A and B are shown apart, each in its own frame.
Chain A
Amino acid sequence: MHTIAARIQETYPGAVQAAVEWRGDLAITVARDYLHHVCRYLHDDPDMDFDYIVHVSSVDWPDEPERFEVVYEAYSIRRRNRIRVKTRVPEDDCIVDSMTDIWKGADFMEREVFDMMGIRFRNHPNLTRILMPDDYPEGYPLRKDFPLRGKGWRDTFTFIGEKST
């Protein structure tokens, strides 16, 4: 196991579910309840020093029991290390702790994840839609069950070659 992953495992036994190093990227999967603790530790511990947030992202795996994956990527400017912290959330309870108190930049990035994938963040100061309109009623566009051509009012259009209903 990578030294950073081993250190996290030592500090929070049971937190790390998987640690993968592929193409030079270290990605660890942690249990959802530990996510905030692990990120706080990564940010605050002088040996870790992950002070820079790179991106917050999300992946939809519709066929798996815990459907959504939330991805935080952090970088240490002093140590020049990169780490990706992932966690899984089920569809009926898709909420994770917000990291806005650790990295200020997480604010907009988490709002984007909420807007696009519908994952909620506990203790986020302003969790509203950011790219889609505020009153957008048709769900979350980046979920795999959202059709590429859009839905809602677009379904009422008659496309060329289609029979009108």
Chain B
Amino acid sequence: MKPIFEDQRDTIYHVDPEHPENPGLPTLRTEEMMLNMGPQHPSTHGVLKVVLALEGERIVKATPVLGFLHRGVEKLAEDGTYHQFIPHTDRLDYICAMYNNFAYCRAVEKLVGITVPPRAEYLRTIVAEIQRIIGHQFWLGTQALDIGAMTVFFYTFRDREILLDFFDELCGARLTTSWYRIGGVERDFTPELTDKLRRFVDYFPPKIDEYVTFLETNRIWLSRTKGVAVISAEDAISFGLSGPSLRGSGVDYDLRKFEPYGAYDQCEWSVPVGKNGDTYDRYWIRVEEMRQSLSMVRQLLEKLPEGPIMADVPSVTLPPKERVFNDLASMIQQFKLFSEGFMAPRGEIYCGTEAAKGELGFYIVSTGEGKPYRLKIRAPSFIHMGAFDYMARGYMIADVVTIFGTYDIVMGECDR
């Protein structure tokens, strides 16, 4: 598969009839063909178009055409207060809304300079890891579905429902959650929710083995993922890949370990790292991360400390809902925070967070007003698309679907 094209990355692929490996191939007059893939192709998970230049079925050049889902989120951010931007982050990577909230709230907390109470940190980390499991379940199901292995999709979506119901009870929404707040979280776990989570932690490990059995006994799925979309470690770093896409190439870059945040330094876990940098290795990493996430959730639930779930910085953080309804001062505080926002100090920060798809970062420039002066979102899906052309050259048309899938791309985040 891959080794044939290794030296032909940058040249047009020609069948050479004189070559000993191609005996008896007829000499055909070949010319490049352009093919539009998308924007409504079901494997593109949203609206993405790729213009393929083809030599037979081989890809000579693949040009991603982005922007079909561009909603100007960065522009909208400049017109709202810091609190008002949280629901917009749900709509970036709508599969993993919780993690976007987490990344954004961390960035604002770094800008304002507040620390979050320990119980809130634990709750945040637990929910973020559950969100990671949901993201990887979704990836596993749809990626296998895209390349023809349909069964595993139903099993991952069955288990994903349990977790989405958990989110529903926690914050009233399944996908667009907005549960994180600047300085803490919106609502605490109830005892029933904690029980539900404990039951899930015991229920899920055999199910992961089930997914693995479905896929690893499927010869077609194996042959379509092993050795496809290979990228070396140096290239992956140079392109700025992150998350499982980078770790598949053997780089252990994981911000949860490199710059620990939340409660990630309070539990035992390891970073799975691949060897070959192909789609199969990235699959293996995601499966392994689900196991690690479960283990983290189990440990953190054991150690969950008591205490407040919101930092007490009245100029920045929202008062608890009960107080808003019964206490005039809290109502005024709430009103002022939502109408004019809080005055963030003058300065600029970048804060990266390891989301399910890669490093999701926020670069915020503040001029000391209630709104961000400039807010830049470092979206992993967008940066991964930058490597698409490089990774797709030399493969067949059918592999394009695998290469989309290998990044775990979500267009809401890519186009913003």
On A, residues with C-beta under 8 Å from B are 22-23, 25, 27, 51-55, 57, 59-60, 71, 73, 77, 80, 82, 84, 103-105, 107-109, 112, 116, 129-133, 141-142, 146, 148
B354-389 Cβ-contact flags toward A at 8 Å (1 or 0)? 000001010101000000011010100011011100
A25 and B350 within 8 A (CB): yes
Partner of B383, one of A22, A108, A116, A148: A108
Q: Which residues of A contact B387 (CB under 8 A)?
A: 104-105
CB within 8 A of B251: which of A53, A77, A80, A108?
Answer: A77
Does the CB pair A51–B238 fall under 8 Å?
A: yes
* Residues of A contacting B251 in the complex (Cβ-Cβ under 8 angstroms): 77
Q: A60 to chain B: which residues have CB within 8 Å?
A: 374
> Is B343 part of the binding interface, using a Cβ–Cβ cutoff of 8 Å?
no
Q: Is B79 an interface residue (CB 8 A)?
A: yes
Q: Say if the beta carbon of B72 comes within 8 Å of chain A.
A: yes
User: Which of chain A's residues has its CB closest to B362's CB?
Assistant: A55
The reply to whether A130 and B378 form a contact with Cβ atoms under 8 Å apart is no
How many Å lie between the Cα of A103 and that of B241 in the bound state? 11
Set of chain A residues within 8 Å of B259, measured between Cβ atoms: 80
Residue B316, interface by CB 8 Å: no
B239 close to chain A: CB less than 8 A: yes
A-B pairs with beta carbons under 8 Å apart, 26 shown: A23-B110, A53-B238, A54-B378, A57-B363, A57-B374, A59-B373, A59-B374, A77-B237, A77-B253, A80-B258, A84-B350, A103-B238, A103-B240, A104-B238, A104-B239, A105-B239, A105-B240, A105-B241, A105-B383, A105-B387, A107-B386, A108-B383, A112-B382, A116-B74, A131-B67, A148-B79
Q: Which chain A positions have C-beta within 8 A of B72?
A: 141
Query: Chain B residues with Cβ under 8 A from A57's Cβ?
Result: 363, 374, 376
The answer to whether B363 touches A23 (Cβ under 8 A) is: no
Instruction: Determine whether the beta carbon of B382 is less than 8 Å from that of A108.
Output: yes
20 new A-B contacts, CB < 8 A, other than A77-B237, A105-B387, are A23-B110, A23-B113, A54-B361, A55-B361, A55-B363, A55-B376, A84-B350, A103-B240, A104-B239, A105-B238, A105-B240, A105-B241, A105-B383, A105-B386, A108-B383, A116-B74, A130-B66, A131-B66, A142-B75, A148-B75
Cβ contacts under 8 Å, A51 to chain B: 237-238
Closest to B112 in A: A23
Residues of chain A with a CB closer than 8 A to B162's CB: none
Majority DSSP secondary structure for residues of A touching B: mixed
B210 within 8 A of A: no
How far apart are B146's CB and chain A's nearest CB, in angstroms?
23
Measured between alpha carbons, how far is A95 from B359 in the docked complex, in Å?
28
**A157 CA / B72 CA spacing, docked (Å):** 20
Collect the chain B residues with CB atoms within 8 Å of residue A73's CB: 350, 363
How far, in angstroms, from A109 to B365 measured CA to CA in the complex? 18
Contact across chains for B378 and A55 when beta carbons are under 8 A apart: yes
CB of B237 within 8 A of CB of A52, answer yes
Task: Determine the chain A residues whose CB is within 8 A of the CB of B129 once the complex forms.
Answer: none
Across-interface contacts of B350 in A (CB, < 8 A): 25, 54-55, 73, 82, 84
Rank and list the top 7 A-B pairs by shortest CB-CB distance, nearest first: A105-B240, A108-B386, A131-B67, A55-B378, A57-B376, A105-B239, A104-B238
| B235 adjacent to A104 (CB under 8 Å) | yes
Would you list which residues of chain B between 57 and 71 have a CB under 8 Å from chain A?
Answer: 66-67, 70
Q: Looking at the assembled complex, report how far the CB atom of B235 sits from the nearest CB atom of chain A, in whole angstroms.
A: 7
The smallest beta-carbon distance between B391 and chain A, in angstroms, is 11
**Nearest residue, chain B, Cβ from A71:** B363
Asked if B111 lies at the interface with its beta carbon under 8 angstroms from chain A, I say yes
Q: Which residues from chain B contact A116 at a C-beta distance below 8 Å?
A: 74
| B313 CB, min distance to chain A CBs, angstroms | 16
Complex Cα spacing A72 to B265, Å: 29
- Chain B positions 382-403 with a Cβ under 8 Å from a chain A Cβ: 382-383, 385-387, 390
Name A132's closest neighbour in chain B (CB-CB): B67
Chain B residues with Cβ below 8 Å from A105 are: 238-241, 383, 386-387
Q: Is the CB of A53 within 8 A of B79?
A: no
Q: Are A130 and B67 in contact (CB under 8 A)?
A: yes
Name the A residues within 8 Å of B361 (CB-CB): 54-55
Pairwise interchain contact A54-B352, C-beta atoms closer than 8 A: yes
The yes or no answer to B193 lying at the interface (CB within 8 A) is no
B288 interface hit (Cβ, 8 Å)? no
Residue of chain B at shortest CB distance from A112: B382
Complex Cα spacing A54 to B361, Å:
9
Inter-chain CA distance A112–B361, complex, in Å, is 16
Asked whether B415 is an interface residue with its Cβ less than 8 Å from the other chain, the reply is: yes
- Are the CB atoms of B111 and A23 closer together than 8 Å? yes
- Tell me the complex Cα distance, A133–B365, Å: 27
Interface string of B179-217 (1 = CB under 8 A from A): 000000000000000000000000000000000000000
Closest residue to B346 on the A side, CB-wise? A22
In angstroms, Cα B43 to Cα A128, docked, is 26
Bound complex: CA of A51 vs CA of B253, how far in Å?
Answer: 12
- Which of B70, B359, B361 counts the most A-chain CB atoms under 10 A from its CB? B70
CB distance from A100 to the nearest CB of B (A): 10
Query: Are B390 and A104 touching (Cβ within 8 A)?
Result: yes
A25 in contact with B238 given A108-B386, A130-B66 (CB within 8 Å) = no
Alpha-carbon distance A54/B349, docked complex (angstroms):
13
Instruction: Please indicate the chain A residues that have their CB under 8 angstroms from the CB of B148 in the complex.
Output: none
Chain A positions within 8 Å of B347 at CB level = 22-23
State which of A22, A59, A133 has its C-beta within 8 Å of the C-beta of B67: A133
